[in-house]
Structure 1
Amino acid sequence: MTNYQQYISLNAAIRFGKPCIIGTRIAVQDILGWLASGMTNEDILDDFPELTIAHIQAALAFAADSERRTRLQVA
């Protein structure tokens, strides 16, 4: 997914500026944590009906893009 920006926003007034799914207080970090803990997409969608599979994919794409921009600086 290359258009994750249509699903994710950063707003200093919501969750201290963490990237969140637009229209919710659900952070990308929350979704990644749920997936890492073993929850399936279906589990997440059952627990959070305001989310869609596109939101989950957007969170993954955002994380991948963030990782791609990360640079390690060796002292």
Structure 2
Amino acid sequence: MTDLDYHSIITIEPGKRSGKPCIRGLRITVYDILEYLASGMTEAEILEDFDYLTQADIRACLAYAADREKHLMVINS
């Protein structure tokens, strides 16, 4: 399994959305996307609702969340 390099897609700007991780400097956060997926929306539905997003954006959100979880596990060990 290849790690997706989300660093060029996920951005953090202190003045935007209270410094939460966003997609490509837009005002939509990683949390927003994860919440949509968790509520049952499909990737296709998200892309239809937000025409400025790409499949790579959604995958970057998942990779960011997985990487963050991995780091939490290491810290707590």
Quick check: TM above 0.5? yes
Structure 2 counterpart of 1:63 = 65
Q: Which runs of 5+ in 2 are unaligned?
A: none
**Aligned partner of residue 46 in structure 2, secondary structure:** helix
RMSD of equivalent CA atoms: 1.2
Give matches, 1:10-49, under 5 Å. Answer: 10-49=12-51
Give the Cα–Cα distance (whole angstroms) in 1 for the partners of residues 8 and 69 of structure 2: 19
Q: Would you identify which runs of 4 or more consecutive aligned residues in structure 1 move more than 3 Å?
A: none
Aligned-residue identity in percent: 49
Structure 2 counterpart of 1:8 = 10
Q: Using structure 1 for the length normalisation, give the TM-score.
A: 0.91
Q: Using structure 2 for the length normalisation, give the TM-score.
A: 0.89
- Paired residues in the alignment total 73
Q: CA deviation at 1:28?
A: 0.2
